Amino acid sequence: MTQQDWRPQATEPSDSERVFLEGPQERWWELWRILRIGLEFLRGFRRLHFLGPCVTVFGSARVPEGHPHYELARSVGAGLARAGFAVMTGGGPGVMEAANRGAREAGGPSIGCNIDLPEEQKPNRYVDTFVQFHYFFVRKVMLVKYSYAFVVLPGGFGTLDEVFETATLIQTGKIRDFPVVLMGKDFWAPLVDFMQRSLLEGEKIRPEDLERITVTDSTEEAVSLIREAALNRFGLTYAHRRHRRRRWLFE
């Protein structure tokens, strides 16, 4: 797969997007928008409610099979699955496919939260549990809500958005101090240098904000760190309470 095979092209906004960007609308339209967002949350909650302990893997969709980042993501997915975690991604190609593939090959649960794009992004073939979303913000809630840790491989704007939003949620105490692991030292080195020189030295962040982020090339180190944090810091056990399916909720 080449970059051009999947990359979404610039398109004219749809009618619903055009109306949304025009500002306040008639109340019936605003009510429908709220209901649609709520239903998307509900569908995601219902679909993902029975997952076991989960780790989310972020990364580029533009990485082909055989690329070092693809193989690293595949190794991470397998390592996390062997450690007892479900592996969740954005469900698309590239790094996402590789992490899902590694999880499935290791016999673990593989989950994808896909997103509607101007040119359809199809779910990769290694996803066992799949949910399609229209709104990016709903999708990002799902990718964060069910995870004990976050592994981030090289990526573009979307990946940077995900890692910094996750770091902000941890920094502000909106979610617990879950591990954030950046994999691919050479790729992340300029960003880490920027955070140290401009953000930390400029007193835009505190030292502990940067200390929460681990940078490594080692699958073993990443999985060990995540497993240790889940077991010792957050009290996860492999005999964790399982939710019972309820027929009256059509589960």
pLDDT surpassing 80 at residue 246: no
Q: Give me the chain's average pLDDT, please.
A: 88
The end-to-end CA distance of the chain, in Å, is: 37
Cα 121 from Cα 118, distance rounded (Å): 9
Cα 38 from Cα 8, distance rounded (Å): 27
In three-state secondary structure terms, 149 is: strand
pLDDT surpassing 50 at residue 1: no
Cα 102 from Cα 40, distance rounded (Å): 28
Per-residue pLDDT, averaged over 158-185, amounts to 94
3-state helix, strand, coil in the chain (%, to 5): 50, 15, 35
Q: 123 or 181: whose pLDDT is higher?
A: 181
In this prediction, residue 3 has a pLDDT band, given cuts at 50, 70 and 90, of very low
Phi, psi of 226 (to 5 degrees): -70, -45
Question: How many other CB atoms are there within 10 angstroms of residue 7's CB atom?
Answer: 11
H or E element that contains 140: helix 136-145
In this prediction, residue 180 has a pLDDT band, given cuts at 50, 70 and 90, of very high
Burial of 119-151, coded b for 16+ CB within 10 Å and e otherwise, reads eebebbebbebebbbeeeebbbbbbbbbbbbbb
What's the half-sphere exposure (Cβ side, CA atoms, 13 Å) at 45? Answer: 7
Amino acid 29: pLDDT: 83
CATH architecture of 50-236: 3-Layer(aba) Sandwich (3.40)
Paired strand residues for 112: 89, 130
pLDDT surpassing 90 at residue 199: yes
In three-state secondary structure terms, 182 is: strand
Percent of the chain at pLDDT above 70? Answer: 84
Amino acid 121: pLDDT: 67
In three-state secondary structure terms, 19 is: helix
State pLDDT tens for residues 37-96. Answer: 999 999 999 999 888 899 999 999 999 999 999 999 999 999 999 999 999 999 999 999
State pLDDT tens for residues 6-15. Answer: 455 545 556 6
